[in-house]
Structure 1
Amino acid sequence: MIRTATPADIPVIHALVRDLATYEKAPDEAKATEEQLREALFGERPAAFAHIAQDDASGDVVGFSLWFLNFSTWRGVHGIYLEDLYVRPEARGGGHGKALLTELARICVERGYERLEWSVLDWNEPSINFYQALGARPQDEWTVYRLTDDALTSLGSPPAAS
């Protein structure tokens, strides 16, 4: 079962984010707090959205997706950027990941969005195979760049007075 996340889901979303960071071999990089997630998802001006995957039999939360809107200047419409998709290892193979992606594709179709995009680590062969089986294709001609920490601060800070 896939449902829209509620504020009551914040603790489990936070735990799943931490699990995902561990799976991606970067647990120290997951610094978001429950309060930051609450504000991003349910604050006065939500900037992100989330869906929860629950086991049909037990009702246990087994996965989540967290996404936000992007915009294509070439297409002239919004799309969805999937920031995180994670299903607990013991629940993989049960259709939860596909159901989460299907829900996001449904939202795209319903709202007239023309893209559903995400990134995947090069070494994550099981996910790559899964995504390609759904018809997703890598954008090999593009390289993702990112500014964080000191580099972001340096670029975004006012020049030093002389």
Structure 2
Amino acid sequence: MSAAARLRPATQDDVPLITQLIRELAEYERLAHTCVADDESVAENLFGANPAAEVVLAFLGEELAGFALFFENYSTHLSRRGMHLEDLFVREHLRGKGVGKLLLSHLASLAVARGYGRMEWAVLRWNEPAIRVYDAIGAEPLSGWLTYRLTGDGLKRVAV
């Protein structure tokens, strides 16, 4: 019999685990070359004076199974706060055991409890396993939208 999944909010003591999962996610997404996260930056940005996001950790038994990193946003159309799910990751050997769906369900419960109007996230087009999970829970892709990003020198060039 497999162990039941359990979730808990991350604490500052979990920084090395969070950093490890961020790096594993970057590898999975084929973006390891862009990942500069380290324990110091993760600690400052998640547990410093002005936390940028929240993290929920998932475990199967005592084994670290995955995480979700999310933050509050705002919808002008709904005139309500919402939740942006930046990262959802389940370690490869633990996929298919309901951990991802449990994380999504937990975040949806948090969003409802906090009075948020919506929850949104992005997924890489090639990530069919994740897309199947999102379709299965009734999430809808946003047709007609493109995601844009400015980073590094491009961001500095546009800055006034």
TM bin, normalised by shorter chain, reads over 0.9
Give the share of equivalent positions with the same residue, in percent.
46
**Of residues 154, 157, 160 in structure 1, which corresponds to 2:157?**
154
Unaligned stretches of 5+ in structure 2? 1-5
Q: Tell me the distance in 1 between the aligned counterparts of 2:8 and 2:138.
A: 24
RMSD of aligned residue pairs (Cα, Å): 0.9
Larger radius of gyration: 1
1:101-140 matches, within 5 Å, as 101-140=104-143
- Asked if the contact 2:57/2:66 (under 8 Å) is kept, the reply is yes
Q: Tell me the distance in 1 between the aligned counterparts of 2:98 and 2:108.
A: 15
User: Corresponding residue for 2:66?
Assistant: 63
**Of residues 11, 34, 39 in structure 1, which corresponds to 2:16?**
11
Question: Could you say what secondary structure the match of 2:86 adopts?
Answer: strand
Q: Tell me the distance in 1 between the aligned counterparts of 2:78 and 2:143.
A: 20
Q: Give the CA deviation at 1:39.
A: 1.4
User: Corresponding residue for 1:33?
Assistant: 38
Question: Could you say what secondary structure the match of 2:134 adopts?
Answer: helix
**Of residues 23, 27, 39 in structure 2, which corresponds to 1:22?**
27
Q: Tell me the distance in 1 between the aligned counterparts of 2:13 and 2:64.
A: 12
Q: Tell me the distance in 2 between the aligned counterparts of 1:151 and 1:45.
A: 26
After the TM superposition, which parts of structure 1 deviate over 4 Å for at least 4 consecutive aligned residues? Answer: none
Q: Report how many residues are paired.
A: 155
1:99-129 CA distance string (max 9 Å, x none):
1111110011111101110000011111111
- Asked if the contact 2:58/2:64 (under 8 Å) is kept, the reply is yes
Unaligned stretches of 5+ in structure 1? none
